Structure 1
Amino acid sequence: MDSTPLGQRPVIRRYRDEDHDAVYDICVRTADAGGDARGKYASDDLMPDLFAGPYLHLEPELAFVLAQGERVVGYVIGTVDTPAFVRAYREQWIPRLAHRYPAPTRPPRTPDEEMIAQHHRPERMLLPQLADHPAHLHIDLLPEAQGAGHGRRLVETFLAAAAQAGAAALHVGMVTANVRARGFYDRLGFQEIPVPDPGPITYLGRPTSG
């Protein structure tokens, strides 16, 4: 039984512009296979610029945060149409950050350059095996908010929003080494989607309803 006073229990609400920095902070603190990636790259904004910022900018209506009072401790973001999102990423997000991440002129040689190369190749998200699961999401919670059912509530909130928007099925891509995340998704009814040569990523999918 949750003994937290009612007024202090985290609640899920829609993302607001003033939540931007908190979402970025949570993203980098959980970006190393679920662990803290601060200091891993030249800028702590690099991972959020790839895996949080474009969703907040392009599809804020599908962004939800877990707030404990005024403090944001988790979020779920995503899209209902991955191909459309990829087009918007290329047409809008890459130019928006051109001053920060110029197009690479050589093969990547460092971890930073590898991530920037990914930024300039959003089409990496378009895998034929995922076509039947057009929506996708990213979810992150600070350690203090994990293990209490809040992640399930966030995913269920996104699933309902995606279903209402017309997406019948959804996928996630997770770092295979993050075994805790795999257990989380398994409990939520996600099943592995076989993808040839997926690298360090495992793809999982499920219907948005049922």
Structure 2
Amino acid sequence: MEVRSFTEADRGELRELFGRAGEGSPSASLWGHEDSEAAIYLNPYMDLAPDSLFVAVIDGALVGYLTGCLDGSKFPTESERMSKAIREHRLFFRPGTVFFFARAMLDTASATLRREPTAGDFHDARWPAHLHINVAPEARGTGAADALMNRWLDRLRETGSPGCHLQTLTENTRAVRFFRRMGFAEHAPTPLVPGIRYGGERLHQQTMVWNP
């Protein structure tokens, strides 16, 4: 297995990997529209932060990737990327996604009435960097995820980053255990993520932080 920096030649294969990496996990998909989700969690990193994008390769094939950003204040926020993708892909008018957004609005209204917080962007100068990591099902247990994370943490140390955060789901216990093992710690409350379901259950955002 090899972990290396992203190159432009990887773009097509990486986009294909995005569609199947994370299968079976609570965070596998938001609303079931792959192109718009890639426009949030993959394309901006290939375009704006390619030096912080790493891929795991086994037998010449991409099996995992980590997208990162050293300073979130210089990168479009997740909310901004999400709003843009929703507009450009007209998700409110697609039969396959309109139900998600209707449910998200109901969840938000219900949470407001109960004075329950809902998920959002994270801003804290102590942890300006952030990441997203995904590994294909066939590569789980090969050490690909560990190698990608170690490469990213080395980059943070080399650049003198004060810290890094990530956002996963509280119910994705496998991911939480992995990030904890890599040195991240749970931080802040766990607000509801409107609209999303896994096994029919509502899901909650878990922010985790790391310091060098």
List aligned pairs for 1:20-99, cutoff 5 A.
20-31=11-22, 34=25, 37=28, 41=32, 43-86=33-76
- The runs of 5 or more residues in structure 1 that have no matched partner are 1-9, 116-123
- For residue 89 of structure 2, what is the aligned residue in structure 1? 101
TM-score normalised over the length of structure 2:
0.72
- For residue 7 of structure 1, what is the aligned residue in structure 2? none
RMSD over aligned Cα atoms: 3.4
1:203 and 2:172 correspond: no
- For residue 16 of structure 1, what is the aligned residue in structure 2? 7
Distance in structure 2 (CA, Å) of the matches to 1:88 and 1:134: 14
List aligned pairs for 1:173-192, cutoff 5 A.
173-192=167-186
Alpha-carbon spacing, 1:32–1:11, altered in 2? closer, same or farther (3 Å): closer
Alpha-carbon spacing, 1:35–1:71, altered in 2? closer, same or farther (3 Å): farther
How far off is 1:31 after superposition? Answer: 5.0
Alpha-carbon spacing, 1:27–1:113, altered in 2? closer, same or farther (3 Å): farther
How far off is 1:164 after superposition? Answer: 2.1
- For residue 121 of structure 1, what is the aligned residue in structure 2? none
Alpha-carbon spacing, 1:83–1:110, altered in 2? closer, same or farther (3 Å): farther
Alpha-carbon spacing, 1:98–1:146, altered in 2? closer, same or farther (3 Å): closer
Alpha-carbon spacing, 1:196–1:186, altered in 2? closer, same or farther (3 Å): closer
4+ runs of 1 displaced by more than 4 Å?
Answer: 35-38, 87-90, 92-95, 102-105, 112-115
Distance in structure 2 (CA, Å) of the matches to 1:162 and 1:53: 21
- 1:123-152 Cα offsets, whole Å, 9 max, x none, are x4243xx43111011111111111222211
2:165, 2:208 within 8 Å by CA — same for their partners in 1?
Answer: yes
2:17, 2:64 within 8 Å by CA — same for their partners in 1?
Answer: yes
Matched to 1:206, the amino acid is W
Greater Cα shift, 57-66 or 46-55? 46-55
Matched to 1:157, the amino acid is R
Q: Percent identity?
A: 23
Greater Cα shift, 190-199 or 61-70? 190-199
Matched to 1:140, the amino acid is N
TM-score normalised over the length of structure 1:
0.72
1:83, 1:126 within 8 Å by CA — same for their partners in 2?
Answer: no
- For residue 171 of structure 1, what is the aligned residue in structure 2? 165
Alpha-carbon spacing, 1:27–1:149, altered in 2? closer, same or farther (3 Å): same
User: Number of aligned pairs?
Assistant: 184
Alpha-carbon spacing, 1:88–1:47, altered in 2? closer, same or farther (3 Å): closer
How far off is 1:102 after superposition? Answer: 5.4
- For residue 118 of structure 1, what is the aligned residue in structure 2? none
Distance in structure 2 (CA, Å) of the matches to 1:191 and 1:198: 19
Secondary structure of the residue aligned to 1:46 is helix
